[in-house]
């Protein structure tokens, strides 16, 4: 069953803690992305990676970190430096190059800071 998965579905964090959100895909996509979605707002790009061992900052990278050690995996760490981390986090993947442009999204992780 091909697709993109995220875990956990819900995550609660105490202030001052780092937490890591998981994103895995078996679509053989080269590119992966992390977005943040706040209520009533669009998706804002946090980080993206076009190839293993390489990634770039998006529009709101402060307080977040990522790694891309495997093609299938792109975990996102929300650090204590992120002052307002409560949000819905979406991971996505796509092929590279000039082919189909669709980004496939995971089901999301809802993070709440207690």
Partner 1 sequence: GENVEQHPSTLSVQEGDSAVIKCTYSDSASNYFPWYKQELGKRPQLIIDIRSNVGEKKDQRIAVTLNKTAKHFSLHITETQPEDSAVYFCAASRRGETSGSRLTFGEGTQLTVNP
Span interacting with partner 1, options 12-20, 61-69, 74-82, 106-114, rule CB under 8 A:
106-114
- Tell me if 72 contacts partner 1 by CB under 8 A: no
Place of tokens 């002052």: 83
Tokens matching residue 58:
């998006």
State phi, psi for 76 to the nearest 5 degrees.
-115, 130
Please tell me whether residue 17 binds partner 1 under the rule CB under 8 A: no
Segment near partner 1 (CB under 8 A), from 12-20, 62-70, 74-82, 102-110? Answer: 102-110
Cβ closest to partner 1, residue 82 vs residue 94 = 94
Chain position carrying tokens 């001052």: 16
Coil, strand or helix: which one is 27?
coil
- Report how far residue 23's alpha carbon sits from residue 74's, in angstroms, rounded to the nearest whole number: 5
Instruction: Catalog residues that contact partner 1 under the rule CB under 8 A.
Output: 30-31, 33, 40-45, 48, 50, 58-59, 90, 94-98, 101-103, 105-108
């Amino acid at each position: 069953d091909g697709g993109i998965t995220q875990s956990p579905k819900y995550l609660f964090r105490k202030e001052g803690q780092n937490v890591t959100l998981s994103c895995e895909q078996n679509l053989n996509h080269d590119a992966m992305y992390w977005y943040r979605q706040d209520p009533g707002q669009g998706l804002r790009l946090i980080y993206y990676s076009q190839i293993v061992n390489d990634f770039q900052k998006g529009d709101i990278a402060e307080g977040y970190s990522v790694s891309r050690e495997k093609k299938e995996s792109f975990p996102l760490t929300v650090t204590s430096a992120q002052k307002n981390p409560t949000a819905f986090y979406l991971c996505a993947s796509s092929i590279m190059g000039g082919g189909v442009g669709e980004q496939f999204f995971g089901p999301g992780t809802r993070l709440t800071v207690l």
